Amino acid sequence: MLNNIEKRCKGWLIIRNITAFLAAVITVTLVFAAVTAADTITHKRVLITFDDGPDPRYTPAILDVLAEHNIKAVFFVTGKACQEHPQIVKRIVKEGHVLGNHTYSHFIIKGAKPSLIIKEVTMTDNIIKKLTGKSTNYFRPPTGEIDKEAYDVLKDLGMKVLMWDLGLEKKAIKSAHKMVEHLVGRIGWRRNLVILMHDGSPHGRYSREKTVEALPVLITELKNQGFSFINPSSLEGKEFINKRSKENIKTLVID
C-alpha cells in the first residue's frame, strides 16, 4: 500500500516539475518575444545613399568621411562617370561600399522607350562589372521619375528599385548646417530611413561642397537621435533594401 502511495507521489512530483519547467519555458519565450518586438519598434536604422557620381571633386572627400565614421553606403553611379573616373569606382568597392545603377547618362526613364531604358541600364552594368568584377542589381531612377512601364522593364532586367525617404540638398538652403537641420527636422516618426545625397551632378552642373561639409554633421545628428547605420553588404542591409524595393512600386512617393 505504502509503495503505491510513494509511486503516486513521485508521479505527481514529476508531473508538477514538468509543468513548472514548461511554464518557465513559455514565460521566457513570451518575454523574449516582447523584448524583440519592442526592439523592432524602437530600433532606428538609416541607410546612406549617394547619386550622380563618381566625381573627383567630391567623392573622395565623402569616402574619407565615411571611412572615419566606419559607415558604408550605396553609391548610385552613372556609367559615363564610371568610365571617366574608374579609380574612384574601384576605391568605392574596395572600401566596402555598394554600387547601384543610375543609368549611363542620367537618363530619365519615365515615359521612355523600353529599348532605351535597357540600353542605358545594361551599358552601365557592363561598365561596373568590367571595373569591379561584379554586377549590381540595385537601381535608382535619375530625378526619381519612374512609371509602371519603366518599373516593369527594370524588373525584367533583374533590378531592384530603391527610392529614398529624405534628401539632404535643397536649392533654397545654402548653409550645410541648415541643410542638416532641415532634414533632421523632417524625420518625425520614421524609424527606418533611406537618405539621399549627391556626390556629383549631371554635366557638373551643381557644386556638392556643402554636401561634403554637411555629411559629418548629419552623421553626428543621426547618432545623437539613436540611429544605427545599415551596412548594405550585410544580411541585414540586403534584407532592408529588398523590403524597401518591394514597397516602391506601391507608393512611388518622392519626398
Residues classed as catalytic: 51, 198
Q: Which stretches within 104-231 are classed as H helix? A: 114-132, 148-156, 176-184, 209-224
Domain topology for 43-251:
TIM Barrel (3.20.20)
Q: Are the C-beta atoms of 103 and 142 separated by less than 8 Å?
A: yes
Kindly report, residue by residue over 28-55, the tens digit of the pLDDT.
444 344 333 334 456 899 999 999 999 9
Kindly report, residue by residue over 159-200, the tens digit of the pLDDT.
999 999 999 999 899 999 999 999 999 999 999 999 999 999
Query: What confidence score (pLDDT) does residue 39 get?
Result: 42
Residues comprising the chain, all counted: 255
**Chain center to CA of 236:** 10
Kindly report, residue by residue over 115-165, the tens digit of the pLDDT.
999 999 999 999 999 999 999 999 999 999 999 999 999 999 999 999 999
Kindly report, residue by residue over 210-225, the tens digit of the pLDDT.
999 999 999 999 999 9
CB proximity list for 114: less than 8 A, separation 6 or greater: 149, 153
Please give the average per-residue pLDDT across 64-91, as a whole number.
Answer: 98
**Mean per-residue pLDDT of the chain:** 87
CA–CA gap between residue 78 and residue 145 (Å, rounded): 16
